[in-house]
Structure 1
Amino acid sequence: MTVIMRILVICALLVGLSVPTFGASKIVMNGLFGSREIPSSNMKSFDKWTEMWRRHNLPRSEKEPTVEPVDGPPCRGLARIQCGRDAWNQFITDHTESSGFDLLEAVNEYMNKSPYIVDPVNWGIPDYWATPDEFFLKDGDCEDYAISKYITLKRLGVPIDRMRLVILQDENLRTAHAVLAVESEGETYILDNQVDAVLPHGQILHYRPVYSINETTWWLHQVKRFSR
């Protein structure tokens, strides 16, 4: 993920900044996965994130066309978008009264049903951040699951300042990974496409966060001590 390299180059410039963060306006010393969190509201480096939101917020007429299923197998081709939207909208309707941990479990399990497909196979480029419509059409990889979970929870009323997409290093698999972190009922939980279980971040020892982001802020994570 090329944006990580840009972050590492500018991280020294961020030390000492006092900008909005999770309910505070200061550096957090014991944040996600035990890291030191340095916040910033400067989102200029996150082109994939901002471009995903641009596409997501386009008027429906400018997105992929709505295609009704025709003769033959249903929900094939572009019709997958409409089928995915319909199922998603029904899920939202069914969970409007849900909240807390039960809601996080339901959203995580729902989105995790989609097959995992890496971006070079799916899109022909190394890294692509998909909107929910694009995810419904072509499935996706780790950040695509996390993005669709974020937007689903946003639709269900979870404040955006309680959610972050987290880019991290999976120390067990030795690869970059992405998850969604959500604050709920005094705990920060991790929604992960690798497992349906929703766990408190402190119970997950093999993830080393690099940065996290929502619609208003991003955080650089520094890990002083990491235990497998």
Structure 2
Amino acid sequence: MTLIFGTAMTWAADLDRMQRMLEQQFGKATSHVMADLRQMLIDTKPAPELDKLQRANEFFNRRLRFVDDKVLWGRDDYWATPVETLGKGGGDCEDFSIAKYFALRSLDVAESKLRLVYVKARVGGGNSTTFQAHMVLAYYAQPDAEPLVLDNLIGDIRPASRRPDLLPVFSFNGEGMWVGNGGQPQPIDRLSRWKELLLRMHAEGSDN
């Protein structure tokens, strides 16, 4: 359990095992998917950190289509593992963000620099008062830096100041959970879906 819920998580993924799981669940025709991911990780490993963000963001935004959980999984809210997301070829905003998070962790981007962020996203233009729940991935070059936002709805990576349509609700990673823009993390144990996701990833071949 320490490997799964430890504060210093890594994604030391056994890609061969993950490929076997992918093929077992979704068929041999999906074998190229993990091969493409593996190649992206190999090619990107030596790149500067900002390039890693760009390549991971592009990989998943281009490869995956947006599909609501109810349509894809028959459930109102399901956090898919990256293997499940790649096998289905799509997912919702949470699945995009989770896949990018773990890909960047495997590229040695420090966990302290990455947060999955639940936001209220304004829809219908700048004057709209309509918001919907959404998730993005935020990257902090330094703890007090303005975060960069990786989003499945917008292709380019933008600083948070250029995303006035997003209102942070809470954010989290393997080290803790933050409410709003708060500076002090709270125990991640409060987020049961995160723990359940890590257990399923561990079974697929990820050493979290």
TM-score by length of 2: 0.69
Question: How far 1:85 moved relative to its partner?
Answer: 1.4
Q: Summarize the Cα distance change of 1:115–1:150 in structure 2 as closer, same or farther, 3 Å threshold.
A: same
Worse-superposed segment, 196-205 or 177-186: 177-186
CA distance in 1, matches of 2:42, 2:15: 22
The reply on whether 1:65 has 2:24 as its aligned counterpart is no
Kindly indicate whether the alpha-carbon contact (under 8 Å) linking 1:100 and 1:184 is maintained by their aligned counterparts in 2: no
CA distance in 1, matches of 2:123, 2:109: 31
Question: How far 1:77 moved relative to its partner?
Answer: 4.0
CA distance in 1, matches of 2:166, 2:172: 16
* Matching residue of 1:209: 168
Q: Summarize the Cα distance change of 1:65–1:104 in structure 2 as closer, same or farther, 3 Å threshold.
A: closer
* Matching residue of 1:221: 180
**Deviation readout 1:104-137 (Å, 9 max, x if unpaired):** 1111111101111100000000011111100111
Alignment RMSD: 3.0
**Unaligned regions of 5+ residues in structure 1, if any?**
1-49, 69-75, 224-228
Aligned pairs (5 A) from 1:129-144: 129-138=79-88, 139-144=90-95
Q: Which structure is higher in helix share?
A: 2
Kindly indicate whether the alpha-carbon contact (under 8 Å) linking 1:84 and 1:133 is maintained by their aligned counterparts in 2: no
Amino acid at match of 2:106: R
The reply on whether 1:89 has 2:48 as its aligned counterpart is no
Aligned pairs (5 A) from 1:1-228: 65=21, 67=23, 77-79=26-28, 81-113=30-62, 114-138=64-88, 139-172=90-123, 174-184=131-141, 186-221=145-180
Question: How far 1:169 moved relative to its partner?
Answer: 0.6
Q: Please tell me whether Structure 1 or Structure 2 has the larger radius of gyration of its CA atoms.
A: 1
Amino acid at match of 1:65: M
What count of residue pairs does the alignment treat as equivalent? 163
Q: Which runs of 4+ in 1 moved over 4 A?
A: 56-64
TM-score by length of 1: 0.63
Q: Summarize the Cα distance change of 1:137–1:206 in structure 2 as closer, same or farther, 3 Å threshold.
A: same
Query: What percent of counterpart residues are identical?
Result: 29
